[in-house]
Amino acid sequence: MEFYRYTLPNGIRGIHRQVKSGVVHCALAINAGSRDELPSEYGLAHFTEHGFFKGTARRKAYQVNCRLENLGGELNAYTTKEDTTIHATTLKSDFAKAVELISDVAFESVFPEREMAKEREVICDEINTYKDSPSEMIFDEFEDMLFAGSELGHNILGTKQALRRYGTENILNFRRRTHTADQMVFASTGNISPETAKAAAMRYFAERPATSRNYKRTEPALCDRFDRRVVKHTHQAHCIIGNRACGILDARRLPLALLVNILGGPSANSLLNVTVREKHGLSYNIDASYNAYIDSGIVAVYFSSDNCNADLCLELIDGQIRKLQQTPISTRRLSMAKKQFMAQLAISMEGNEGYMLGLGKSLLVRDEVDTLKDICRKIEMLRAEQLTEVANEVLSDNSILLYK
């Protein structure tokens, strides 16, 4: 069996994958992100994540930061729209220390006002960094517009003004409401037995309170198409064209993922790279992406180009999308696309840390995990007609955001 699953008495779920490696990766994935913030809390999920490193009931901030680093390992965390993850990498011999530290910062962080005041300024600097990078800022603005009025319609970092209102009590209230045991998964991978992994989780997580979430997320309502052109006085034009897409639990997710890979995936033979970059030499950066949430998603094409070439790029992109909508992919092309997609997935799974984080996310959201063999079998069954259908369902009436 490739994965070993277990559930602790308090409801925290666990998953372990044993591999031949002297390095162990582990993470606590929490099903709480920026979409779980109240309107008065925008930016608080991310602020809470930063606060995990600022001291616990038994450790000062420098002790949190040095606990694993002094052993050559590392502790880190990140926040998305839907989850917060605390993860660690250590040698096999230090696995228990990593589990204990993750438990300590997840449940015993005290978020001292003095430390959080300094961290507030760090995040303000992070916000400034995004504002100085149009290629990154445009994604946040596009998504805010695409999900306007919904839980997903605000960026993860929040605003400087909002951050300066938050104190320790705000963070503790947010964590108490959203970081509940029934919304947590502990994932691990390394050359340790499933019994050892579970024993460590039992030791450091099982005595935590058996809490449960008392609210439900609201599915985002549909929004009107938009075409917004913003004067930024940048050297290049930056543009996103895209639309709402299906969520993680939707049966159309896999055909859409394959379609997006064909359209503008990372390979040099993607339709957009061949047409816009190789054939016409109009853009150095052009790609398509699909980001799925639990109940919705976003599919987008991003490119940068000379300002004078932006409209031609949009025309060429529209042409490739229309071809996918009107003409089913040939049997030969579909077969090649499937093999390419499956190989990309297999290569990505060679990275144990990324694979481990994916396991935790899958179990957290779907309460199940597919093996690579399972995924490949599903890809092999996809038909050209399914890709044409999803192209028409998702890639029609696209919205546009352009910086010039």
What's the pLDDT tens digit per position in 347-370?
998 899 999 999 999 999 999 999
Rounded to whole angstroms, the Cα distance separating 342 from 99 reads 33
Residue 248 corresponds to which tokens in the numbers above? Answer: 């993680």
How confident is the model over 381-396, as a mean pLDDT? 96
The answer on pLDDT for 382 being more than 70 is yes
Residue 337 corresponds to which tokens in the numbers above? Answer: 């696309």
Residue 46, judged by CB atoms within 10 A of its CB (0-12, 13-18, 19+), counts as buried
Q: Are 154 and 45 in contact (CB under 8 A)?
A: no
Residue with tokens 């957009």: 272
Rounded to whole angstroms, the Cα distance separating 53 from 68 reads 12
How confident is the model over 301-327, as a mean pLDDT? 96
How confident is the model over 159-167, as a mean pLDDT? 94
Rounded to whole angstroms, the Cα distance separating 281 from 381 reads 36
Give Dmax (Cα) for the chain.
63
Q: What is the pLDDT of residue 1?
A: 62
Q: List the one residue out of 12, 5, 7, 364 whose CA is nearest residue 208.
A: 12
CA 22 to chain centroid? 27
Side chain identity, residue 194: P
- For 209-220, the pLDDT digits (tens) are 999 999 999 999
Question: Quick one: what percent of the chain has pLDDT higher than 90?
Answer: 94
How does the average pLDDT of the chain come out, rounded? 95
Given pLDDT bands bounded at 50, 70 and 90, which one contains residue 233?
A: confident
Q: What is the pLDDT of residue 235?
A: 86
The answer on pLDDT for 377 being more than 70 is yes
Q: Return the bridge partners of 392, or none.
A: none
* Residue of 221 and 177 predicted with greater confidence: 177
How confident is the model over 62-75, as a mean pLDDT? 95
- For 85-125, the pLDDT digits (tens) are 999 999 999 999 999 999 999 999 999 999 999 999 999 99
* Residue of 311 and 350 predicted with greater confidence: 311
Rounded to whole angstroms, the Cα distance separating 253 from 393 reads 12
Rounded to whole angstroms, the Cα distance separating 31 from 15 reads 15
